[in-house]
């Protein structure tokens, strides 16, 4: 099985046709897109469906970055955590391969999330997200599973 993961940056914008053409040219079986946005959802889905009949998203709110999965194999969507940053977590099971796939977009250290004077720093969000992933991997120990996405690594905080 061939996987592709791509951060399309802020929803992809005018680059959607080129992004989709490139994805199709890779002949990947499973595609994980990070920074998917609903403003480009229909065009992205319409173009990807030429090669990927199975598509789902993490259902981000408007103007929020989320995740999109496109696959040649059918899958079922598994429950996502309902706490902070749930739009950055999308898990599926590809039944015919007995494979669990988790797609993530880990917050970067400068990605603070504040509203009405309350919130959490990007550094803390990143730490909590990594803790969630580590706990998640324990559940799948010994099973066929993979984690894909944008890990926002490279900082000494990782």
Each residue's pLDDT, cut to its tens digit, for the chain (158 residues) gives 999 999 999 999 999 999 999 999 999 999 999 999 999 999 999 999 999 999 999 999 998 999 999 999 999 999 877 677 889 999 999 999 999 999 999 988 778 887 677 788 888 888 888 899 999 999 898 999 999 999 987 655 44
Rounded CA gap, 149 and 34, in Å?
Answer: 7
The whole-angstrom distance between residue 6's C-alpha and the CA centroid of its chain comes to 9
Nearest to 89 by CA among 26, 131, 54: 131
Half-sphere exposure of 85 (CA within 13 A, CB side): 26
Are the beta carbons of 95 and 75 closer than 8 angstroms? Answer: yes
How much is the pTM? Answer: 0.91
Pair 91, 101: CB distance under 8 Å: yes
Distance CA 92, CA 145 (A): 10
């Amino acid at each position: 099985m061939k996987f592709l993961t791509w951060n399309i940056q802020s929803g992809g914008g005018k680059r959607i046709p080129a992004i989709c053409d490139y994805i199709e040219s890779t002949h990947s079986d499973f595609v994980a897109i990070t920074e998917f946005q609903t403003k480009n959802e229909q065009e992205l889905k319409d173009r990807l469906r030429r090669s990927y009949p199975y598509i789902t998203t993490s259902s981000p709110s408007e103007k929020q970055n989320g995740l999109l999965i496109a696959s040649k194999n059918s899958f079922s969507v598994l429950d996502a955590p309902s706490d902070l940053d749930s739009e950055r977590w999308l898990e599926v099971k590809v039944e015919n391969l007995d494979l669990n796939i988790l797609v993530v977009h880990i917050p970067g250290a400068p990605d603070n999330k504040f509203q009405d004077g309350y919130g959490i720093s990007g550094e803390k969000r990143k730490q909590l997200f990594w803790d969630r992933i580590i706990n998640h991997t324990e559940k799948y120990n010994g099973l066929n599973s993979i984690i894909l996405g944008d890990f926002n690594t490279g900082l000494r905080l990782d």
